[in-house]
Chains A and B, each alone.
Chain A
Amino acid sequence: AQTVTQSQPEMSVQEAETVTLSCTYDTSESDYYLFWYKQPPSRQMILVIRQEAYKQQNATENRFSVNFQKAAKSFSLKISDSQLGDAAMYFCAYGKLTFGTGTRLTIIP
């Protein structure tokens, strides 16, 4: 079975700075998909970014990018130019079945 580990329960960053959220996973599969989801205080889960394992290129979405290291089974999320609206819980997910425990991100004005 796959597992997903987010080792940082809480992180904080100054507004306009850059922050990286960690995620590691375990799988025996060679083809798979990884996701970062954001859950703001409204509770609504929304997709931040998606990575296909067989693609070497790291996914990017505006200020959000990932550092995908397949051999190390690492999938970290980098948020550049942090904004107050980025404050949320962030969940790393392996496919549809397995989620990490989340990282609560606080933005300091």
Chain B
Amino acid sequence: NAGVTQTPKFQVLKTGQSMTLQCAQDMNHEYMSWYRQDPGMGLRLIHYSVGAGITDQGEVPNGYNVSRSTTEDFPLRLLSAAPSQTSVYFCASSLDREGLGADTQYFGPGTRLTVL
């Protein structure tokens, strides 16, 4: 049982390049999400998904795209990287019980992204 895995662990991009951050979980969780962590700002939600084929925007969705074709995978795509997207990115998953945010989230190890 690997939990939540993320690849790559580190990435350097040039402005304007695109890339995909991979996230996978093997706990059969319906809910998956992407956060970015910036100094002094905590974790901010980018996008989330409550099941295969269903995604929605979080607090800071601009410049990012997601899709959820399977329960296990939830990739995050940067369409045209900008220096403002330099951050640490975390993927998380949890059971999805109705509405209350009741369930513990399990986090991946994070991806440190630098955009030059």
Contacts and interface: CB of A to CB of B under 8 A. Distances in A.
Interface of A: 4, 6, 9, 31-33, 35, 37, 42-47, 50, 52, 91, 93-102
A35 to B, nearest CB: 7
B104 A50 contact: yes
Given A44-B110, A100-B42, A101-B40, 14 more contacts: A4-B42, A6-B42, A33-B103, A35-B104, A37-B107, A45-B107, A46-B107, A47-B104, A50-B104, A94-B101, A95-B101, A96-B94, A96-B105, A102-B42
Interface of B: 31, 33, 35, 40-45, 48, 58-59, 88, 90, 92, 94, 100-105, 107, 109-110
Contacts of B31: 96
A43 B109 contact: yes
A48 to B, nearest CB: 10
A14 B52 CA distance: 48
6 A-B pairs with the lowest CB-CB distances in the bound complex, closest first: A95-B101, A45-B107, A99-B43, A101-B42, A96-B101, A99-B42
Nearest to A94: B101
Nearest to A47: B104
